[in-house]
Amino acid sequence: MTATFVGMPPFPTAARAALEDTQLRHNLAHATGTIRDKRARVVAEVEDWEDLRTAGAAIKDATLANLEQHLVQLEARLLEQGAVVHWARDAAEANRIVAGIAKSHAVDEVVKVKSMVTQEIGLNEALALEGIAAWETDLAELIVQLGDDLPSHILVPAIHRNRAEIRQIFLERMAAAGRPAPTDLTDDPAELASTARLHLREKFLRARMAVSGANFAVAETGTLVVVESEGNGRMCLTLPEVLVSVVGIEKVVPTFADLDVFLRLLPRSSTGERMNPYTSTWTGVTPGDGPQEVHVVLLDNGRTRALADEVGRQALRCIRCSACLNVCPVYERVGGHAYGSVYPGPIGAILNPLMHGVGEDAQTDSLPYASSLCGACYEVCPVKIDIPSVLVDLRAQVVDAHRGGVPPVTHLAEAVAMKGVAATFGSSRRLGFAERLVRLGTGVAQRLPVATPWTNARDVPKGPPESFRAWWKRTDGGRR
Amino acid sequence: MRVALQVTCINDALFPDTGKAMVTLLRRLGVDVEFPAGQTCCGQPMVNTGYLDEAVPALRSFVDAFGGYDAIVTPSGSCAGSARHQHQIVARRSGDAGLVAAVEKTAPRVFELTEFLVDQLGVTDVGASFPHAVTYHPTCHSLRMLGVGDRPRMLLEQVRGLRLVDLPAAEECCGFGGTFAMKNADTSIAMGSDKARHVRETGAEILVAGDNSCLMHIGGLLSRQRSGVRTMHLAEILASTEAAPPTVAPLSVEPVETRGLAL
């Protein structure tokens, strides 16, 4: 894959391009609408859903508050069960570890379970530089990889593609990656799926090493958990000799009883199913069964930075269900690529700035503003992440990062205007004076021969003859 | 009970009829509402753009103006949400213990109009008459931040002559979002266009909501499209009686005729 998020423009620019893509708009409106309705139906079936959400949030918060203790326990159990445990501070360290394991076994290809964290660290690209091919085996990830494309959704990375486009990708690209697609392939979904199955089966049977992430890591037993729909993940987790799992440090849950809560919250929030088809669990090495060499790479890569953020640390509760993407009116219209990260949508708009820090680049700084603050994400989040509040807090961090110096050109007018507004709102007398200019201002806006961001699609309200406060004063509150 | 009207800065400057309707309505229900003249803005435009220090002067004006009242009523779900959920954040950050204490008093006393009518006054029939086809857009902050639920609908259903038409995808954001409408104008307009389309699908003559900021955005689109749909604040409909109907036509938005360069 050569496609990359590096160098993506700030959100408003990327969004403008996406909004003009009619195919994208159509595909997204259809797909998000369908998943949204499915989720709403199955969530409504659960009487104690709100209690479950509260429990999920509480377990994550308690775990994050004592993260070190749980991670150390997880490491100890994993070692007892014959796994090798690695710690990685950042993407580069994690990639080096995985590449090193591959090279020690002299493999030139690995099969991959769908995982967000390996996308986050750019593992496929790093392995490619070492001459190792990493094959995505999740159907949607395969479509993205073959199409030399970028994922645009956490759960459904090819959500921006329709079946006609997928047929085209299979016909043109599959041959270069292995078993080719039949030349008479149609866009019938069952036919597309069976073509992918045959293509992937060769890879499963041949591969000696697999790479996965994990949805959860249970500290008390050292058990890793992968939740999926297709079963391709389980193929990777059971067939090869060597299994390497890259796991974000926030994935740890203390006990199996805690895991229960999340296994109930996740499928309904994510795919809108009562239960996901495949839940795979493994605890180190089981002699004579499955991979006989098991590695776990525990990854920070900005997570401790997020953990240090008093308001934002709740983002680490995230179980990557993507319910927030599916209900977000902004995501529904612009899709995932505009966010410039493998984590798009509302959760991406907070997670990326929290993990990278703000005030460094315009793209990251634009993300907290990529929301109308409508709150639909907070309402559906299974672990109750108050995304709107975190967005507002991050906006303040962006502004604060530019205080004291000259604000960047894009913020200069705004920063000056806000100072003026602050002074005006500090006194009702000054505000009353400013309001006398409103009629003049709206009149000018209406007649201006240039379109502003407001007026190029929206008319401007007509300024009233007098403000409310002027009316109240003149008429003594309407009494005279 | 001393009741103050928090008219909001946008209504004060651009939509004074909403403020006047609040006065008419509340007086009719026996509430001698006052307008503390020291009020300015709740500070939300600054807070939601990230300028928290710049919101402090507005917050000081707020607590000075409203400190002595038992209830503060506002025709805006958004401004009520700002007062109840954001003021304390701004106050704490300012490091001014006096401001924190003052906000502790004012924040829980702020009520959005429908909350005040239904919960505090215990009325749903306010004696209004408005013989028009109306559709209602539940604004995000009233719906999800305050949780006003079906209070607006309960009030509208009691209005004489009013025909309430369901709005498709009613709970989806209109795309205003404060400075979002300017900073992400393309996305904002895309969202607003869908909202305007749903409004037109209802065949209603009037779109009503509890926030004039959202209505300014949707109304600006509807006006530009020459849709023949007018926006009105809920307070203006509830204030309307057979003896004193509001002026329904012409549209409150003046269409723009000429356009040259695009900025």
Q: Are residues B112 and B137 in the same domain?
A: no
Q: How far is A444 from chain B (nearest CA, A)?
A: 11
Structural domain contains residue A15: no
User: Of A301, A319, A354, at which residue does a domain stop?
Assistant: A301
Structural domain contains residue B48: yes
What would the pLDDT profile of A39-97 be if each residue is shown by its tens digit? Answer: 999 999 999 999 999 999 999 999 999 999 999 999 999 999 999 999 999 999 999 99
What would the pLDDT profile of A428-469 be if each residue is shown by its tens digit? Answer: 988 988 888 877 778 777 777 777 889 889 999 888 999 999
Here the CATH number for the domain that contains residue B156 is: 3.40.50
Q: How far is B123 from chain A (nearest CA, A)?
A: 24
| DSSP state for residue B73 in the 8-state scheme | E
Structural domain contains residue B263: no
Interchain CB distance below 8 Å, A449 and B258: yes
Q: Are residues B160 and B198 in the same domain?
A: yes
User: Of B75, B92, B120, at which residue does a domain stop?
Assistant: B120
User: Of B98, B120, B142, at which residue does a domain stop?
Assistant: B120
Q: Are residues B10 and B91 in the same domain?
A: yes
| DSSP state for residue A480 in the 8-state scheme | -
Non-local (6+) Cβ contacts of A172 within 8 A are none
Q: Which of B58, B141, B181 sits opposite A426 (nearest CB)?
A: B58
What was the pLDDT predicted at A451?
Answer: 72
Q: How far apart are CA A136 and CA A202, in angstroms?
A: 13
User: Of B71, B91, B120, at which residue does a domain stop?
Assistant: B120
Sheet architecture: strand order including B206-209: B163-165, B133-136, B206-209, B230-233
Chain B, nearest residue to A376 by Cα: B144
pLDDT confidence band for A410 (50 / 70 / 90)? low
- Domain span at A446: 427-475
Q: How far apart are CA A291 and CA A282, in angstroms?
A: 10
Chain A, nearest residue to B146 by Cα: A375
Interchain CB distance below 8 Å, B48 and A395: yes
Structural domain contains residue B260: no
Q: Are residues B107 and B158 in the same domain?
A: no
Q: How many CB atoms lie within 10 A of CB B37?
A: 12
> Within A239-368, where are the H helices?
256-270, 303-307, 323-327, 329-334, 345-356, 362-366
Structural domain contains residue B219: yes
User: Of A265, A285, A301, at which residue does a domain stop?
Assistant: A301
Q: Which of A11, A389, A395 sits opposite B49 (nearest CB)?
A: A395
Interchain CB distance below 8 Å, A449 and B261: yes
Interchain CB distance below 8 Å, B20 and A471: yes
User: Of A251, A272, A301, at which residue does a domain stop?
Assistant: A301
Q: Are residues B226 and B147 in the same domain?
A: yes
Whether the CB-CB separation of A278 and A271 falls below 8 Å is answered with no
**What's the total number of domains in chain A?**
2
Mean pLDDT for chain A? 95
- Domain span at B69: 3-120
Residue-by-residue DSSP string for A189-226: HHHHHHHHHHHHHHHHHH-SEEEE--SEEETTTTEEEE
Per-residue pLDDT of chain B (263 residues; tens, 9 = 90+): 999 999 999 999 999 999 999 999 999 999 999 999 999 999 999 999 999 999 999 999 999 999 999 999 999 999 999 999 999 999 999 999 999 999 999 999 999 999 999 999 999 999 999 999 999 999 999 999 999 999 999 999 999 999 999 999 999 999 999 999 999 999 999 999 999 999 999 999 999 999 999 999 999 999 999 999 999 999 999 999 999 988 765 454 454 444 444 44
pLDDT(A405) > 90? no
Structural domain contains residue A25: no
Q: Which of B12, B41, B187 sits opposite A468 (nearest CB)?
A: B12
Whether the CB-CB separation of A380 and A44 falls below 8 Å is answered with no
Strand-strand pairing, A460-461 and B253-254: antiparallel
> What long-range pairs does A181-190 form, CB within 8 A, spacing at least 24?
A187/A163, A188/A163, A189/A163
Q: Which of B16, B60, B260 sits opposite A466 (nearest CB)?
A: B16
Q: How far is B192 from chain A (nearest CA, A)?
A: 10
Whether the CB-CB separation of A5 and A361 falls below 8 Å is answered with no
Interchain CB distance below 8 Å, B185 and A424: no
What was the pLDDT predicted at A295?
Answer: 98
Structural domain contains residue B125: no
Which residues in chain B have Cβ-Cβ distances shorter than 8 Å to A397? Answer: 50
What would the pLDDT profile of B62-81 be if each residue is shown by its tens digit? Answer: 999 999 999 999 999 999 99
Q: Which residue out of B76, B85, B137, B173 would a mutagenesis test of the A interface target, given it has the greatest number of A Cβ atoms within 10 Å?
A: B173
pLDDT(A411) > 80? no
What was the pLDDT predicted at B251?
Answer: 52
Which residues in chain B have Cβ-Cβ distances shorter than 8 Å to A449? Answer: 258-261
Q: Are residues B210 and B165 in the same domain?
A: yes
Q: How far is A461 from chain B (nearest CA, A)?
A: 4
Interchain CB distance below 8 Å, A450 and B14: no
Which residues in chain B have Cβ-Cβ distances shorter than 8 Å to A389? Answer: 85
Structural domain contains residue B75: yes
Which residues in chain B have Cβ-Cβ distances shorter than 8 Å to A414? Answer: 49, 179
User: Which ipTM did the prediction report?
Assistant: 0.95
Q: Are residues B15 and B103 in the same domain?
A: yes
Which residues in chain A have Cβ-Cβ distances shorter than 8 Å to B173? Answer: 329, 372, 374, 376
User: Residue A210 pairs with which residues in a beta bridge?
Assistant: A111, A243
What would the pLDDT profile of A233-274 be if each residue is shown by its tens digit? Answer: 999 999 999 999 999 999 999 999 999 999 999 999 999 999
User: Residue B110 pairs with which residues in a beta bridge?
Assistant: B72
Q: Are residues B190 and B86 in the same domain?
A: no
pLDDT(A163) > 60? yes
Structural domain contains residue A401: no
Q: Are residues B160 and B105 in the same domain?
A: no
Q: Which of A379, A395, A454 sits opposite B181 (nearest CB)?
A: A454
Q: How far apart are CA B202 and CA B66, in angstroms?
A: 40
What would the pLDDT profile of A99-145 be if each residue is shown by its tens digit? Answer: 999 999 999 999 999 999 999 999 999 999 999 999 999 999 999 99
**What's the total number of domains in chain B?**
2
Chain B, nearest residue to A452 by Cα: B263
Q: Which of B61, B172, B254 sits opposite A459 (nearest CB)?
A: B254
